Amino acid sequence: LTADAFFKANQPAALTYDDVSLATLYSEILPREADTATSLSESLRLPIPIISSDMDTVTESRMAIAMALNGGLGLIHYNMPPKEQVKEVARVKRHIHGLIQDPITVAPTDTISDVLAMIEERKFTFSTFPVVTADRQLAGLLSSSVVKDRYRAKTVAEVMTPRAALVTEAEERVAQDPIAAADAFFNAHIGINKMLVVNARDQLRGLVTSSDVEKITSEAKARRKPARDAQFRLVVGAAVSPHRKPDGSLDRDAILEHIGNLAAEGIDAVALSSAHAHTVSLGELVRLVRNAFPELAIIAGNVTSGAGVEFLARAGASSIKIGQGPGSICTTRIVAGVGIPQLTALHLAAQSARKLGVRLIADGGITKSGDIVKALTLADAIILGGLLAGCREAPGEIMEIGGKLYKSYRGMGSLAAMKSGSAARYGHDKADTVRKLTAEGIEALKEVSGSVDDTLATLIGGVQSGMGYLGAATLEQLRARARYVRVSPAGQKEAAPHDVVEVSTRSN
């Protein structure tokens, strides 16, 4: 059945991803030929329709850089001072691919014991570090061959390769084209696998490793397409905090000043996020930003009704986030008793979005690539939280518990996150110490997963398979061609591996 006929036939049941399957169709499309490009506004185009969530355990600059390099978009969260958020955005916009701009360094006075403790604590998988003085003057290189137990008592200065013995590269040469500069450098200095970049005052400005250069060159061959702006910089978005005055009204000046600072760094999209966006205050916020920044991509949400979509579209949103309570750490439906299973919510939203020409983003509840394919039959892009929170590029340290490695993942409506700043998103005031904040999310752990590169490659591979099965060369064709069937509990059981003993971990 078509989406309209299918959802009509299944009324009044509300459905989510696992309740349906897509019917296969005649195809002339090979999965690898399927084009996953999408857009979030007239000017913001993305080679892949995947966005990392504006959550404080998911997206900061490192995640946003990885997302954009893979063709997606990262939304930097706002549980940090506004100035820090502007810096995070600048880090993405100024990222020079291949150059590690903030390498981990050690001081000449540190002991090898200190270095070993740092590696253990921060779970580093490398043990070569540039040595710098307090004013970042390059003092030497600590090579992994001396970061050993037997040198514990020595200082870094005693065992490092001193500055005089190091070959370095000048910053100006690298800034032009870091990969070409690194290629030339590693060819000229066989055996050296770290290019240390210094400025005219011999301060360390970055580091390029030969393995990164090899990886980037092979990726270029694999035709990975980063998401870039017109000036060839990586794209990035940020969630903007609805700054409020003491009387609770929107602090318009503070909001516009902050977005102005983000725009000065070249921000590509702002997310105006609230758990309930079909409200007078979110409408006011969207209108305020739209009037002041006519060209800026505004991602607003979350809503789960056609009326909500219409409301935000008319206020000036470019893309609208759909989802109330489907997220893996969400408890909105349990706490508030509110929310619509995600696929039905998307269908309700899509009916209005089609009429208004506004874009939709499916936000929350995605646990596998098949869910993404289903979401994209009704939406233009999807947001991931949980599937990315275990990646090394997500904020936060890795913890070891019972021999397994984990990272923290928490809902922005969890008590801890609301206390760090996101209370406004859930209609609470973080300074409110009299009444207890009611959490609408939990604090959890995610097992450490692969890199963002690997995770996205697997997910996009799945999306392209889905497009191949439906004979869809583009996401527009996927939306037009999708035919749904309702899956019974027995059908759900049949869909996952069953009656076997699994010996390898499934990919997404």
Q: Which of 69, 329, 345, 415 binds ligand XMP (CB under 6 A)?
A: 329
Q: Does residue 55 interact with ligand XMP by CB under 6 A?
A: yes
Q: Distances from the Cα of 13 to the Cαs of 10, 299, 440, in angstroms?
A: 6, 29, 24
Q: Which residues contact 269 (CB under 8 A, 6 or more apart)?
A: 40, 41, 44, 73, 75, 235, 237, 238, 296, 297, 298, 299, 318, 319
Of residues 53 and 168, the one with the C-beta less far from ligand XMP = 53
Q: Which residues contact 152 (CB under 8 A, 6 or more apart)?
A: 111, 112, 113, 116
How many residues sit in the footprint of ligand XMP (CB under 6 A)?
24
Of 330, 260, 269, 256, the C-alpha closest to 296 is 269
Of residues 77 and 233, the one with the C-beta less far from ligand XMP = 77
Q: Does residue 226 interact with ligand XMP by CB under 6 A?
A: no
Neighbours of 43 (CB within 10 A): 14
Look at the block and give the residue holding tokens 């954009």: 68
CB-closest chain residue to ligand XMP? 441
Kindly write out the interface string for residues 152-191 of this chain, putting x where it contacts ligand XMP by CB under 6 A and - elsewhere.
----------------------------------------
Binding part of the chain for ligand XMP, among 197-205, 244-252, 327-335, 372-380 by CB under 6 A, reads 327-335
390 known member of a binding site: no
The catalytic residues are 330, 425
**Three-class SS state of 302:** strand
Of 291, 451, 296, 474, the C-alpha closest to 387 is 451
Residues 62 and 393 sit within 8 Å (Cβ to Cβ): yes
Residues 76 and 236 sit within 8 Å (Cβ to Cβ): yes
Q: Does residue 391 interact with ligand XMP by CB under 6 A?
A: no
Which tokens hold the place of 208? 């390029």
Q: Does residue 383 interact with ligand XMP by CB under 6 A?
A: yes
Residues 47 and 37 sit within 8 Å (Cβ to Cβ): yes
Rounded to whole angstroms, the Cα distance separating 267 from 463 reads 28
Which tokens hold the place of 254? 């503070």
Residues 76 and 55 sit within 8 Å (Cβ to Cβ): no
Kindly write out the interface string for residues 88-117 of this chain, putting x where it contacts ligand XMP by CB under 6 A and - elsewhere.
------------------------------
Of residues 142 and 412, the one with the C-beta less far from ligand XMP = 412
Kindly write out the interface string for residues 398-437 of this chain, putting x where it contacts ligand XMP by CB under 6 A and - elsewhere.
-------------xxxx-----------------------
| Minimum distance from residue 299 beta carbon to ligand XMP (Å) | 11
Binding part of the chain for ligand XMP, among 199-207, 208-216, 328-336, 454-462 by CB under 6 A, reads 328-336
Q: Does residue 130 interact with ligand XMP by CB under 6 A?
A: no
Q: Which of 226, 441, 462, 466 binds ligand XMP (CB under 6 A)?
A: 441
Q: Does residue 384 interact with ligand XMP by CB under 6 A?
A: yes
How far, rounded to the nearest angstrom, does the alpha carbon of residue 335 sit from its chain's CA centroid?
27
Q: Which residues contact 182 (CB under 8 A, 6 or more apart)?
A: 98, 169, 174, 195, 208, 210, 213
Binding part of the chain for ligand XMP, among 358-366, 373-381, 454-462, 496-504 by CB under 6 A, reads 358-366
Q: Which of residues 307-326 bind ligand XMP (CB under 6 A)?
A: 323, 325
Rounded to whole angstroms, the Cα distance separating 385 from 347 reads 22
DSSP state of 411: -
327 known member of a binding site: yes
Kindly write out the interface string for residues 248-267 of this chain, putting x where it contacts ligand XMP by CB under 6 A and - elsewhere.
--------------------
Task: Give the residue ranges of the annotated binding site.
Answer: 323-325, 327, 330
Task: Give the residue ranges of the annotated binding site for K(+).
Answer: 325, 327, 330
| Contact footprint for ligand XMP (CB under 6 A) | 53, 55, 302, 323, 325, 327-330, 332, 363-366, 383-386, 411-414, 440-441
Task: Give the residue ranges of the annotated binding site for NAD(+).
Answer: 323-325
